[in-house]
Amino acid sequence: MKTRLDLALYVQAFPVYARNLGILLPPLIAAAIGVGLRYAEGPLFAPIGGAGDPIVQFIVNIIYGFAFAVAVIMADDAWRHGKGSLSAAWQQARRKAGDIIITVIGFYFLIYVARLIGSIGGPILGEAISALALWAFIYAIAASAIGGVPAGASFSASLQAARRHPLATAILTIVCLVVWFGLAIYAPAAIGPYVGAGYDVAQALLTAIALGYIAIIVARQYEDFAFRFW
């Protein structure tokens, strides 16, 4: 287990990504499913005034979370052996599906509660508290997916790793937020006027690229800093 701050991993992640582009496939499939569900949402929930939007969003979030876990498993394999196997990652995720899904639900719930509590002091504080929660639980999905940690203990394992390595985890959190907002949020909005009907395709691809890179750096840092139970 490494104990030093390793900034090189953020650069080293690029060649790993280039050799293992299959890492972005699970998030890309999740993004495509999300687009399809949102298109289907209108006809399905129109009679009740769109009240089904929270349900659809909840389902989409779980799909994204599970796809991210598959990507993390493949990324971990890629760091270890130079080349990851998507089929092996999928099989491993299927075996751990219960723990992964529970962890994904808990992760979203904790981030939501943190933002809700923080928003009492205003939107800026809300975002700050949610970022702090992300810092604390950023390893939770990796703990369930590649660490062999049961769902109930994954958040404790993540918090312990974050507390042992606060600066490295803070940098990881910042990089993840920058990549996510830059590629998945702002980039699609910036190119939207120029891609027309291809906006959904561009958004899905950019989201998948972002999640793939995030999966690679989270998997590596979990490997360096966190405990494994198998």
Q: Where are the domains of the chain?
A: 9-225
- Please give the chain's pLDDT, 230 residues, in tens: 455 678 999 999 999 999 999 999 999 999 999 888 877 766 665 555 555 677 888 899 999 999 999 999 999 999 999 899 999 999 999 999 999 999 999 999 999 999 999 888 888 898 999 999 999 999 999 999 998 899 889 999 999 999 999 999 999 999 999 999 999 999 988 988 888 778 888 999 999 999 999 999 999 999 888 755 44
- HSE of 129 in the Cβ direction (CA atoms, 13 Å)? 17
Query: Which of 135, 188, 194, 143 has its CA nearest to residue 165?
Result: 135
Q: Work out the angle at residue 178's Cα, subtended by the Cα atoms of residues 191 and 97, and round it to the nearest 5 degrees.
A: 100
Q: Tokens in use for 206?
A: 């950019």
Query: Which of 31, 34, 28 has its CA nearest to residue 56?
Result: 34
pTM of the model: 0.91
